[in-house]
Amino acid sequence: MSNAISEIETAGTDETGGLTTSGERAEEIQSEWTDYRLSADPKLSVENLNVYYGDERAIRDVSMDIPENSVTALIGPSGCGKSTFLRSLNRMNDRISSARVEGSVKLDGTEVYGPNTNLVELRKRVGMVFQAPNPFPKPIRDNVAYGPRKHGELNRGLVARLLGRDDSEAERELVERSLKQAALFEEVKDRLDDNALGLSGGQQQRLCIARCLAVDPEVILMDEPASALDPIATAKIEDLIEELAEEYTVVVVTHNMQQAARISDQTAVFLTGGELVEYDDTETIFENPASQRVEDYVTGKFG
């Protein structure tokens, strides 16, 4: 367990009775304050999720519904489990051998952890953008076309060519559309065949977003997508996230509370060792949180 977590646990609870600093019992307040009701069916529904690395529990009995076509922000101090939670939504934790997941995650009502889940299909429907831009050392065009080529979705073969839609045309359209959606096209349209590693950090991150969009996902998970960027590049990513939410369900981890307040519709606050402490409309979380611990955190008293 990291030092950050021990410190927060000390700050948030007393050693014996499990009471919070404001004198409340954590289990009691948790059910009340994380019970965020949605008017529509959720896109993702998480129930009693626990994630362990070996014997260490990184996510502690988290339940939350994530609504469609909106931005959900996950905030909380370093080591509280935000990335672990995010990765559990599209089973990226499967790739970590020590990780073990208990509980349920449903995508449109279907169990993500069911035995018949096709992981390739799942990751296509629930895409991910990482903290550090990770373009492939290939031309810009190939980065965007990578997923659709892999999934075999570009029109291929004789019939497509007879209809006048060969691979290259379908690909050109798709690359252009995805780059436009990621607000990058104008900056790169004359150098699509240049290596992606020649782009700036902010451009590389938008390219990674374009690569994610090219396979036509439904949910986009973003783990601190702007933390490595300068303020101007960050502002571009923030604008983009807000636009994407018109069409996609966006779940974004951020360390930056102003950013969460600016771009998200609802905010989930994780604190002590993987506990979801409060989940509500972003405005409520920042202006009138129910939990004293959340108020202390968002006003910068700890964390």
Residue 6 touching ligand ATP (CB under 6 A): no
Closest approach of Mg ion to the CB of residue 85, in Å = 9
The residue from 8, 44, 66, 82 that contacts ligand ATP (CB under 6 A) is: 82
The reply on whether position 225 binds ligand ATP by CB under 6 A is no
Task: Print the binding letters for residues 252-291 with ligand ATP: x by CB under 6 A, - otherwise.
Answer: ---x------------------------------------
Compute the least distance from the CB of residue 277 to ligand ATP, in Å. Answer: 13
Say if residue 280 is exposed, middle or buried (CB neighbours under 10 Å; 0-12, 13-18, 19+). Answer: buried
Residue 295, token pair as written in the block: 């108020």
Tokens of 55: 């014997």
Residues that bind Mg ion (CB under 5 A): 83
From the list 12, 42, 67, 79, which residue makes contact with ligand ATP (rule: CB under 6 A)? 79
User: If binding is defined by CB under 6 A, does position 81 make contact with ligand ATP?
Assistant: yes
Mark residues 93-132: x for contact with ligand ATP by CB under 6 A, - for none. Answer: ---x-x----------------------------------
Among 80, 174, 219, 260, binds ligand ATP (CB under 6 A): 80
Shortest Å, Cβ 74 to Mg ion = 9
Q: Which amino acid is at 204?
A: Q
| Angstrom distance (rounded) from CA 46 to CA 81 | 15
- CA dist 278 and 74 (Å) reads 10
Q: Min. distance of Cβ 93 from ligand ATP in angstroms? A: 8
- Angstrom distance (rounded) from CA 153 to CA 275: 40
> CA nearest 269: which of 109, 97, 105, 33?
33
* Number of other CB atoms surrounding residue 3 within 10 Å: 9
CB of 184 closer than 8 Å to CB of 195: no
Contact between 163 and 186 (Cβ < 8 Å) = no
Contact 211, 147 (CB under 8 A): yes
The least distance separating ligand ATP from the CB of residue 181, rounded to whole angstroms, comes to: 27
Residues that bind ligand ATP (CB under 6 A): 1-2, 5, 53, 58, 76, 78-84, 96, 98, 255
